Chains A and B, each alone.
Chain A
Amino acid sequence: MHVHDLNPKKTLWAVIIFLILIVVGFLTMRSPLMTYEENIAQSIQTVRDTSSYYFYPYELTDVLNHQNKDVVLIDIRNKYEFGQGHIPGAKSIPSFDLAKKNNLEMLKNFQRDRVKVVLYANDQLDATGAWFFFRQVGFKNTYILLGGYDFYAKHASDLKATKKDQNLFLKGISRYNYAEVAKSSTGSVDNQNTSTKPVVFKRRKKATVAAGGC
């Protein structure tokens, strides 16, 4: 004799409680703060399309003299580095804090208002990780400041002039003709005027008469 047969209603109650628990579980499940909005193929395309995220140093001039109000600068370095010097008007939000709830909300508002969010760190590489991350979680209005703070600090007095020589801050290009440099002879720049004489080794004469030894 099965135990439930004694009280068939018990089974029904158990089933109902079980279902309620599952429904409550699903309803109270926390939705993740961030989700990937781009798949891998889209992210690869994002990186390829540099015009969608490059912010050139010379574009800063309009931001700094308040002509371009649709740009927000965010300094993602730590507070100490920010304190040592930063671009005027930049907000200091270290990259990990930028992924906190209130800041994500702020980013969402910027995106809604079509404001460009320009991230910068000391150089482009330092900001690349954070920029790429925020693009992948859906913030298409995220830009990266080429050259970073180091470049800005060096050329702050005349940012417009940097437009002429973009080689100073552009990344991803080869700075050498690698194949040429790697050739054995052409690499030796300083070697051309070598006038040193070859070292001549004189052979020791064989010792006569039982030199002895072990």
Chain B
Amino acid sequence: MNRNYIILTLIMLILAIGTIFISQRQFTKQVPPEELLWDVLQPTRFVSTDLVAKRIIEKDPSQLLIDVRSASQFESFSLPGAINVPFDSLKTSAAMAYFGNPGTKVVLFSNDGILADEAWILLRRLAYKNNYVMKGGLNGWIQTIIRPLAPAETSSEKVIEQYNFRRAASMYFIGSKTDVNKSQKAKITFVKRKKSVVAAGGC
């Protein structure tokens, strides 16, 4: 009967209008709190200063460095290639354009990583993925990359290798050796090759 169809249509319309009100309550996409807490408690978002340095030196195009400190701090010093997105401006859509792009690993950093971590949490709440936090921040950057401490001579191969990388990276970033351990310096001796006599022959 026609009447039944009219009633059905009306019910459907009422339900459809109802869904509009439901979706308006949370118009920005956010991950559920439980999921956010789970992600916050994972340490996987932290990357070491060594890895960041390595990627800068290799000019890895997939790494995007974001400085979440204030604009004045950014102007006085920042990492090479970093972009300034102050923590306060995180809600603006212009700032958001840097995040969530496929194939880009965004590395956030601040003075010691706490502000960057808080920025990470806000971004995760807004469902952005592929963001990372540089552990230790710029203070850690200076301590590990720019002014690395020489490990004890009994340290493992891995530690010494890491130290050598850091010294090389330091030279890359500031152009000079920051610390030279004199005891480790080997004396360079050149052995002169003897003069070749007539017709030393070939292969």
CB distance from A54 to the nearest CB of B (A): 12
Cβ of A172 < 8 Å from any Cβ of B? yes
Cβ of A137 < 8 Å from any Cβ of B? yes
Question: In chain B, what residue has the closest Cβ to A201?
Answer: B190
Q: Are B40 and A130 in contact (CB under 8 A)?
A: yes
Count B-side interface residues using an 8 Å CB cutoff.
62
Cβ of B168 < 8 Å from any Cβ of A? no
Task: Give every chain B residue within 8 A of A124 (Cβ-Cβ).
Answer: 114
Q: Pick the contact of B77: A130, A179, A204 (CB < 8 A).
A: A179
CB distance from A121 to the nearest CB of B (A): 11
Interface string of A189-214 (1 = CB under 8 A from B): 11100101001011011010111111
Please judge, given known A-B contacts A40-B126, A212-B201, A212-B202, whether A15 and B114 are in contact too, CB under 8 Å. Answer: no
Stretch at the interface among A3-11, A111-119, A154-162: A3-11
Q: Are B199 and A210 in contact (CB under 8 A)?
A: yes
Could you give 13 example pairs across A and B, Cβ below 8 Å? A34-B33, A43-B122, A124-B114, A133-B37, A136-B121, A179-B77, A181-B147, A182-B146, A190-B178, A199-B188, A202-B192, A209-B199, A212-B200
Cβ of A187 < 8 Å from any Cβ of B? yes
A210–B197 CA distance with the chains assembled, in angstroms: 9
Please judge, given known A-B contacts A178-B77, A187-B174, whether A204 and B114 are in contact too, CB under 8 Å. Answer: no
Q: Are A133 and B36 in contact (CB under 8 A)?
A: yes
Q: Pick the contact of B122: A44, A210, A211 (CB < 8 A).
A: A44
Q: Pick the contact of B15: A22, A43, A132 (CB < 8 A).
A: A22
Cβ of B142 < 8 Å from any Cβ of A? yes
Q: Pick the contact of A204: B112, B170, B193 (CB < 8 A).
A: B193
Q: Are B33 and A35 in contact (CB under 8 A)?
A: yes
A207–B199 CA distance with the chains assembled, in angstroms: 10
Q: Are B77 and A182 in contact (CB under 8 A)?
A: yes
Cβ of A80 < 8 Å from any Cβ of B? no
A34–B37 CA distance with the chains assembled, in angstroms: 11
Q: Is the interface of A mostly helix, strand, loop or mixed?
A: loop
Q: Are A187 and B118 in contact (CB under 8 A)?
A: no
Task: Give every chain B residue within 8 A of A66 (Cβ-Cβ).
Answer: none
Q: Are B33 and A32 in contact (CB under 8 A)?
A: yes
Stretch at the interface among B4-12, B47-55, B58-66: B4-12
A183–B142 CA distance with the chains assembled, in angstroms: 12
Question: In chain A, what residue has the closest Cβ to B73?
Answer: A174
Count A-side interface residues using an 8 Å CB cutoff.
64
Cβ of A24 < 8 Å from any Cβ of B? no
Q: Are B121 and A125 in contact (CB under 8 A)?
A: no
Q: Are B195 and A205 in contact (CB under 8 A)?
A: yes
Task: Give every chain B residue within 8 A of A31 (Cβ-Cβ).
Answer: none
Task: Give every chain B residue within 8 A of A27 (Cβ-Cβ).
Answer: none
Question: In chain A, what residue has the closest Cβ to B113?
Answer: A125
Query: From residue 119 to 144 of chain A, which have CB atoms closer than 8 A to chain B?
Result: 124-125, 128-130, 132-133, 136-137
Task: Give every chain A residue within 8 A of B177 (Cβ-Cβ).
Answer: 188, 191
CB distance from A45 to the nearest CB of B (A): 9
A132–B8 CA distance with the chains assembled, in angstroms: 48
Question: In chain B, what residue has the closest Cβ to A144?
Answer: B114
CB distance from A129 to the nearest CB of B (A): 4
CB distance from A117 to the nearest CB of B (A): 16
Cβ of A69 < 8 Å from any Cβ of B? no
